[in-house]
């Protein structure tokens, strides 16, 4: 399903994070994280190569993922946000590059949606804004 894509997982529920990571690996993906906090994720994305896709829990103990999501989207990274509560309209308006899935949601539904978005991105990549996204083939 993921064809070795690097999938960033940001989830503060340890059991859900482990389940997502296990399923991503079972679907031929490479897990980045999982990260459980905004700060931890922010440090990672500022210093590392952009992932091929991301699954983000909207509300973390130390903040919302809005800045992380907008940063990833600016790099052309497909993002799925899972939220049990309100998601700002400014994020919802970024569809189709961002998918919002209300909790509870089946893990497989999240993975299928992200896989579709990654495949579409590979067929016709969106232009990036700001810092250039590194091409995985160059590494």
Is it the case that residue 139 has pLDDT exceeding 80?
no
Query: Contact, 66 vs 11, CB < 8 A?
Result: no
Kindly calculate the radius of gyration of the chain based on its CA atoms and give it in whole angstroms.
14
CA pair distance 119, 58, nearest whole angstrom: 23
Name the DSSP letter for residue 135. P
pLDDT value of position 132: 42
pLDDT value of position 55: 98
Q: How long, in residues, is the chain? A: 139
Is it the case that residue 29 has pLDDT exceeding 90?
yes
What domains sit in the chain, N to C, each tagged with a CATH number? 6-119 (3.40.50.2300)
pLDDT value of position 87: 72
| pTM score of the predicted model | 0.87
What percent of the chain clears pLDDT 70, i.e. is strictly above it? 87
pLDDT level of residue 83 (50, 70, 90 thresholds): confident
Closest C-alpha among 88, 89, 83, 79 to residue 105: 83
């Amino acid at each position: 399903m993921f064809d070795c894509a690097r999938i960033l997982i940001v989830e503060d529920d340890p059991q859900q994070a482990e389940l997502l990571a296990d399923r991503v690996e079972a679907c031929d993906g490479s897990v980045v994280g999982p990260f459980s906090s905004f700060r931890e994720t922010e440090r990672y994305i500022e210093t590392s190569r952009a992932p091929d896709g991301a699954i983000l829990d909207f509300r973390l103990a130390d903040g919302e993922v809005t800045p992380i999501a907008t940063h990833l989207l600016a790099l052309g990274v497909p993002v799925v946000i899972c939220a049990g509560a309100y998601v700002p309209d400014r994020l919802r308006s970024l569809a189709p590059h961002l998918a919002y899935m209300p909790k509870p949601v089946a893990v497989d539904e999240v993975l299928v949606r992200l896989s579709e978005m990654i495949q579409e991105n590979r067929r016709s990549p969106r232009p990036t804004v700001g810092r250039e996204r590194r091409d995985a083939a160059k590494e």
